[in-house]
Each structure stands twice: as C-alpha cells, then as structure tokens.
Chain A
Amino acid sequence: MYKYSDFDTAFVRERARQFRAQVERRLDGSLTEDEFRPLRLMNGVYLQLHAYMLRIAIPYGTISAPQMRQLAMIADTWDKGYGHFTTRQNIQFNWPKLVDIPDIIDALADVEMHAIQTSGNTIRNVTTDAFAGAAADEVADPRPIAELIRQWSTDHPEFQFLPRKFKFAITGSPADRAAIRVHDVGLQVVEKGGQRGVRVYVGGGLGRTPMIGQLLRDFLPEADLLPYFEAIVSTYNLMGRRDNKYKARIKITVFENGIDAFREQVEAEFVRTRAEFTGVDQQILKEIEAEFAPPAFKNDPVDAFEAAKAVDPLFRRWSARNLTAHRVENHAIVTVSLKEHGKTPGDASSAQMRILADLAERYAYGELRVSHEQNIVLPHVAKADLPALFAELLRAGLATPNIGLVSDIIACPGMDYCALATARSIPVAEEIATHFKEIGLEDEVGKMQIKISGCINACGHHHIGHIGILGLDRAGVENYQITLGGDEGPAAAIGDKTGPGFAYDEVVPAIERILRAYLDLRAGADEAFIDTFRRLGAAPFKEALYGVSRDAA
C-alpha cells in the first residue's frame, strides 16, 4: 500500500492548519458565507439538510486496517457511530459540528488520510476498480497512476475553481469495473508494442444530461500522462461554460464543440504542457509503483476451503456469491456486503469498521477496499483462511451472500439526508431488498443491478442500472421513474425510460412485474436480465409494467 512521503505528510498537516484558520476566519467574519463555501467544499465539508456533512477521501478505494479503525474512532467521537461509504469510494459522516471538523481533519492526517477535493469545482478523488492489484484479468494495477493523478491534482493552482466538478476514473482491466465511460475522464490501462499507456475517454457523465464518454486518445504513453491531463483540464477551464451550472460539465463542452474540435484544442495545448514537465514525474511514478508491490502471498493449500464448501451449504452459497477470482490461484477476492436486507446500502457502524479492520489484519494482509457498489472488499485472502473468515463475518452480521443480486443496490442518501433530493432513496432500496428475499425470488433472478437516485443529479447512478429508479417530486408527491437496460463497464449504456412514473408504494410491485416478465422471457437460467433485455428490447417489459394497450398506443 502507498505510504505517505515526507512531502505528503507535511502537505496534509499544513492543509489542516489552513482549514482551521479558514473556519476561524468564517466565524470572525473575514470570510462571508459565499466566500467560505468553495473553501469548505474543497475540504470535503457540505451543508446538508439537517447538518454539515464531511466527505473523506479513500483514494482509489484503498484503505488499511489502522485507517479503517481511525474512521471508527471518528464516527464514535464526532458523529453518531456510523459512516456511509459512497459510489465514489469516499466515506461520509452526516452529523459533524463545523467547529469539530478541523480536529477530525487532524485525526485523518494522523493516519495519512484527508478530505481534500472530495467536493467543490475541483478534480475529485480518482476512483478505480476495487479489485485492482488482485484481479486475474488486469493488464496492470491502475493505482500507481491514480496516486500520481492524486498528487498532481491536489491543490493544483489552476484547477481549484473549474467551471464544475471533474472526475477521473481508471481501470486496469478490459472488464472495466470502474465505470470509466461515465466519468469526465475515463482511463483504461493498455499495452501497445510492449509499451505501457492508457486509452483516454472524455465527456462521460450522469446527472441530468447522461452521456457516454467518447474516445479522445487511443494510446497515451505513460510518460505523457500528466502533461496530457493538464492539457485536457486547462482546455476545459477556458472552454467550459460558466453561464449555466447545468451546462458546465466537460460532457457539455465536448458535446457542444464536438469531439474533433475539442481534441484539436487539447492536442495544441499538449504541445505547451509537454514542454513544462521535465520528467521528474516519471521518477516519482516509479517510486509510487514500488509502494504498490503486492504482499508476500501465503502458500497454503486449498483443501480446507474445498472441504468446507462440500459440507457447509451456507459457506458454499456465500462463496458462490461473494468471491472473485484472484490472480494468485490459492487466493480469492472477498466482497463483504454492506447491503444486509432492510438496511441502508453502504452504511457501516463503528463496530463493523473495527471488525473489518481486525479481519483484514488477520486474513487479508491488512488491506481493504471500498467498492463503487458501496461494499467492502478484502482483496487478498488465502483460500485456506476463507472458512474461518466466513465464520467471523457470519457472527458479525457481515456475511450477506448477495453480491450482484437484486438486493445489492446502489442508492444515494436521498431525502433522508441530502439537501438536493426530491424523493427518498434508502427506504425504496430497503423495501426492494426485503420484499424479493421474502418471496424467494432473489436467487432465481440472479445477476441484477438496481440503482436508485433521489433526484435528477443521479448520484445513485440510476442511468446505468439494469433497472434504474429515479425519485422525483410531482406537485409535492414522490414519483419514481423507471429506466431499463442501462449498464456500466465495456458495454456502457444509458437506460431507456419506460413511461409514466410510479407512486412510492407502487415501486416494489412495478419491479416485481419486470422481474417476473424476465423470468418468463429468458432463454435459460444463465441468461442474465440485461442480456434478455438486449435480445428482446424494452417492449415486453413495458407491457409488463403498463399493460398491452399503452404499449400499442
């Protein structure tokens, strides 16, 4: 795992000192609320519906056991004993007091963490595949590049007041578990002629104008990463619209100017930025790469794992759902579900955080990940240790075997917390999860991504859910629009709107009609919902939702 350099340590300490002074200057009137706003946002502090909210970065989703314990300490000391893991691999605390936040920032710095640029019109936390460095199918671990981007973008003098927020995502695998096509800049690590580099997509995004990112550069050599990214963001800083915040994201800049004109500007700008970098960044990248060397994997045989699967049906079921192939044969990647049926997706109590930290130290070389699906991943576990790990997770209520199923829902905080939300998200997720478990349909349906947003800003990624649910306000009444056929990854697609929305208590029955239609229509048990949808299109599902007459009309 990456360890802070002396420079990093000095930086986060100094930044904490600056933020403490900013809070004091807000309180003494030196800064107006309008002036303080971007300063607190670029330090992760939001003003929400009921209180301030602090969003802490978990860079590229990688977190150590001691860091996880520190989050538990923060939850107990300054918040209400829990935290919420987000789709962008951050953690949010919903109830801190503004005057306590400088102390929280100091406590983060104590364990090499920060909340820098988790909000604001800045370059945000770089997200990646939660299985990075462990997956069997990756070209290279994308995290060294993510860390290089973290350093370059942190407090970048030109890019703290961009037209709008700016999100990078990077994947090291062609399977793309980082949703790179729906980010402002999406990167895929590739190799060409023995040379390492990235494929660059630009202008993807969700929100009120969802778009799939377009190819900007098919191959960007590793040596040119930072100058090229600087050319992209600097072009956007001048070209991006500032007259309308809903048209300010780079996806609109690219769309309005056209990808070819945008590329031309970037390439011209790249000539300038390329000349600024002397190559020291490449030396630093090499040092960063060394920090991400994998742990010394144990050599234990897998017999006990196979034997436990043969005799224990609960373990067998959990293994089938929650394990992913590791690049080392006698290891596995474990996903710990934070989606227990009926609970808030992505929430973890301080007690659960401590248990996860302990288990990571005992069974996973001290390392954890936060996935964009809002679960916790133990990236390296020897198969020999899986039965013992499972037993402990079961005792802690963390062994829900539902990864990739109906109840593994992504949901934004919605109207329960968020100042922007127009409808509730969390209770909808809870009811869907509970209902389909009760009627026993979850396992039969199999692979399914349901994603729920409580407003048009789409933090719950509903556009790319196989089933997307968007909660709106219609004359003071919650109304939920359903989209079908969205997907992330290499086949990224924006879901189709089905038709008129549904009242709050009609959502679960509507989802059930879709799922029952799928079970009738699928070619076989191994054809996932999304594949059936692609084969047949939306019509039969609309018919299931609204009846034949509407479909014919």
Chain B
Amino acid sequence: MSVIVRDDGFHAEDWVGEITEVPADTAIAAVAGLAAAGQGGMLRVAFPSFADGRGFTLGRRLRDAGFTGRLRAAGPVLADQYAMARRSGFDEVEIPDDLAARQPEDQWLFRADWREGSYRARLQG
C-alpha cells in the first residue's frame, strides 16, 4: 500500500482513471510520445530511489511537452524532496507506507511552502 502526499497532507489513493507508467530510464526521445499518450489521465513517474534524480527532469520535460493531466512522482522520495517534485511540475507524490510512518505528515507539510524561496522560479520570471 502507499500514501499520496499533496500540499494539504496525506491522502489514501483516490485516483480512479487511467495511469500511464513512466520508467526512470525513459529515453529523451520518448518523452513527447508519453506526454501525448497520457493526456487526460495520469502519468506516474518512477523514482527507484531517493538518490535517483532523473524523475525531476522527466517531470519538467513532460510538462514542457504539453502534458496537463495529473503528474505523480512514485517511489521512496524523502519529505525533503517534496518541494523539488512540486517545482519540477508534479502534482503529488506517492510513497510507501513504511516511509510515511517514519516521516509523518508534519515533515511533508514543512515543505508545503514550496512556492516560496525558489531561485529557479525567480530567474525564469
């Protein structure tokens, strides 16, 4: 089982539509096709480990390729990475139950202020 994290805290799975999986080793050339194929549904980008940051760039690229549906980061992502995921275009993060138990909701809400203090956003304008 897993827990869905959003800006207002923990949720149980509540998605009922189509889910297209995006593996962490997705080729650069495949991004546009995935963005189109997933349109209207959810794209779930795999984070095999918290140390693997490919998913952040994949999220940004999927958004730039025009994907407007639900974008989810799924894997053992740390509460400290929540802001990175949101800033890279993800709507939510899906984490395993044991991680949610060890890093409870307040540790994720600590970074619900991810819109504040982003150099990257400030420089983009």
Contacts and interface: CB of A to CB of B under 8 A. Distances in A.
Contacts of B85: 157
B49 to A, nearest CB: 9
A160 B103 contact: no
B53 A152 contact: no
A159 B80 contact: no
B111 to A, nearest CB: 8
Contacts of A278: 124-125
B58 A22 contact: no
A272 interface: yes
Contact of A238 (B28, B87, B104, B124): B28
Nearest to B76: A35
A2 to B, nearest CB: 14
B61 interface: yes
A409 interface: no
A152 B119 contact: yes
A275 B119 CA distance: 18
A237 B57 contact: yes
Given A31-B78, A237-B53, A158 B124 contact: no
Contacts, number: 108
B53 A160 contact: yes
B18 interface: no
A158 B107 contact: no
A235 B60 CA distance: 12
Chain B contact-residue range equals 20 to 34
A39 B123 CA distance: 24
B54 A237 contact: yes
A317 interface: no
B120 A277 contact: no
Chain A at the B interface: SS class: helix
A160 B51 CA distance: 9
B2 interface: no
A226 interface: yes
Nearest to B102: A30
A234 interface: yes
Contacts of B64: 272, 275-276
A22 B80 contact: yes
A261 to B, nearest CB: 12
A303 interface: no
A80 interface: no
B67 interface: no
Contacts of A21: 110
A232 B80 CA distance: 25
A269 B28 CA distance: 9
A452 B42 CA distance: 54
Interface in A1-51: 7, 10-11, 14, 18, 21-22, 25, 29-31, 35, 38-39
B95 to A, nearest CB: 12
B84 A157 contact: yes
Contact of A265 (B28, B88, B116, B118): B28
B51 A25 contact: no
5 contacts: A25-B103, A30-B104, A157-B118, A277-B123, A280-B122
